Amino acid sequence: MARTVLKFGGTSVADLDRIAHVADIIAYRAGQGEKLAVIVSAMSGETNKLVGLARGAAGDAINGDHFDDEYDVVVSSGEQVTSGLLALSLRKRGLNARSWLGWQMAMKTREGHGSARIDGFEDSGLADAVDGGEIAVIAGFQGVTEAGRVATLGRGGSDTTAVAVAAALNAVQCDIYTDVDGVYTTDPRIVPQAQRLEKISYEEMLEMASLGAKVLQTRSVELAMNHRVPLRVLSSFTALGEDNPGTWVCSEEEIVEKQVVNGITYSRDEAKITIYGMADRPGTSARLFALMGREGVNVDMIVQANARGEGRANMVFTCTTADSAKAETVLTAQRTEIGFEKMDVARDVAKVSIIGVGMKSHTGVAETMFDALYQKNINIDVISTSEIKISVLIDADYTELAVRALHTAFDLDAQ
Q: In the bound complex, what is the minimum distance in angstroms from residue 107's beta carbon to Mg ion? A: 18
Q: How far apart are CA 78 and CA 42, in angstroms?
A: 4
Query: What is the rounded radius of gyration, in angstroms, for the C-alpha atoms of the chain?
Result: 23
Q: Taking CB under 6 A as the rule, does residue 140 contact ligand ASP?
A: yes
Q: How crowded is residue 212: how many other Cβ atoms within 10 Å of its Cβ?
A: 23
Residue 340 interacts with, from Mg ion, ligand ASP, ligand ADP, none (CB under 5-8 Å by kind): none
Instruction: Report the residue closest to Mg ion, judged by CB.
Output: 156
Residue 47 interacts with, from ligand ADP, ligand ASP, Mg ion, none (CB under 5-8 Å by kind): ligand ASP
Q: In the bound complex, what is the minimum distance in angstroms from residue 256's beta carbon to ligand ADP? A: 21
CB 355 within 8 A of CB 384: no
DSSP classification of residue 133: T
Sign of CA dihedral 180, 184, 265, 413: negative
Q: Taking CB under 5 A as the rule, does residue 140 contact Mg ion?
A: no
Q: Taking CB under 6 A as the rule, does residue 55 contact ligand ASP?
A: no
Q: Taking CB under 6 A as the rule, does residue 143 contact ligand ASP?
A: no
Residue 42 interacts with, from Mg ion, ligand ASP, ligand ADP, none (CB under 5-8 Å by kind): ligand ASP
Binder of ligand ASP out of 155, 312, 335, 347 (CB under 6 A): 155
Q: How far apart are CA 6 and CA 18, in angstroms?
A: 15
Nearest residue to 165 via CA among 194, 139, 198, 199: 139
Q: In the bound complex, what is the minimum distance in angstroms from residue 12's beta carbon to ligand ADP? A: 6
- What is the b/e burial string over 307-343, where b = at least 16 CB atoms within 10 angstroms of the residue's CB? beeeebbbbbbbbbeebbbbbbeebeeeeeebbbeeb
Specify the stretch interacting with ligand ASP by CB under 6 A; choose among 150-158, 243-251, 262-270, 274-282: 150-158
Q: In the bound complex, what is the minimum distance in angstroms from residue 155's beta carbon to ligand ASP? A: 4
Q: Residue 51 class from Cβ within 10 Å (0-12 exposed, 13-18 middle, 19+ buried)?
A: middle
Nearest residue to 90 via CA among 3, 22, 158: 22
Binder of ligand ASP out of 8, 100, 141, 177 (CB under 6 A): 141
Residue 78 interacts with, from ligand ASP, Mg ion, ligand ADP, none (CB under 5-8 Å by kind): ligand ASP
Q: How crowded is residue 39: how many other Cβ atoms within 10 Å of its Cβ?
A: 30
Q: Which is nearer to ligand ADP, 97 or 233 (CB)?
A: 233
Q: Which is nearer to ligand ADP, 178 or 399 (CB)?
A: 178
Q: Which is nearer to ligand ADP, 180 or 331 (CB)?
A: 180
Number of helical (H) and strand (E) elements in the chain, helices listed first: 13, 18
Q: Taking CB under 6 A as the rule, does residue 41 contact ligand ASP?
A: yes
Sites of contact with ligand ADP (CB under 6 A): 9-12, 41, 156, 178-180, 183-184, 186-189, 213-215, 263
Q: In the bound complex, what is the minimum distance in angstroms from residue 8's beta carbon to ligand ADP? A: 7
Q: In the bound complex, what is the minimum distance in angstroms from residue 89's beta carbon to ligand ADP? A: 18
Q: In the bound complex, what is the minimum distance in angstroms from residue 356's beta carbon to ligand ASP? A: 27
DSSP per residue, 158-169: HHHHHHHHHHHT
Specify the stretch interacting with ligand ASP by CB under 6 A; choose among 39-47, 94-102, 187-195, 352-360: 39-47
Q: How far apart are CA 348 and CA 310, in angstroms?
A: 31
Binder of Mg ion out of 156, 212, 263, 277 (CB under 5 A): 156
Helices 77-92 and 16-31 meet at what angle, rounded to 10? 60
Q: Taking CB under 6 A as the rule, does residue 100 contact ligand ASP?
A: no
Nearest residue to 44 via CA among 92, 81, 97, 70: 81
Q: Which is nearer to ligand ADP, 307 or 403 (CB)?
A: 403
Largest Cα–Cα distance of the chain, in whole Å? 79
The rounded Cα 252 to chain-centroid distance in angstroms is 20
CB 13 within 8 A of CB 43: yes
Q: In the bound complex, what is the minimum distance in angstroms from residue 330's beta carbon to Mg ion? A: 32
Q: Taking CB under 6 A as the rule, does residue 158 contact ligand ASP?
A: yes
Binding residues for ligand ASP (CB under 6 A): 9-10, 41-42, 47, 78, 140-141, 155-159
Binding residues for Mg ion (CB under 5 A): 9, 156
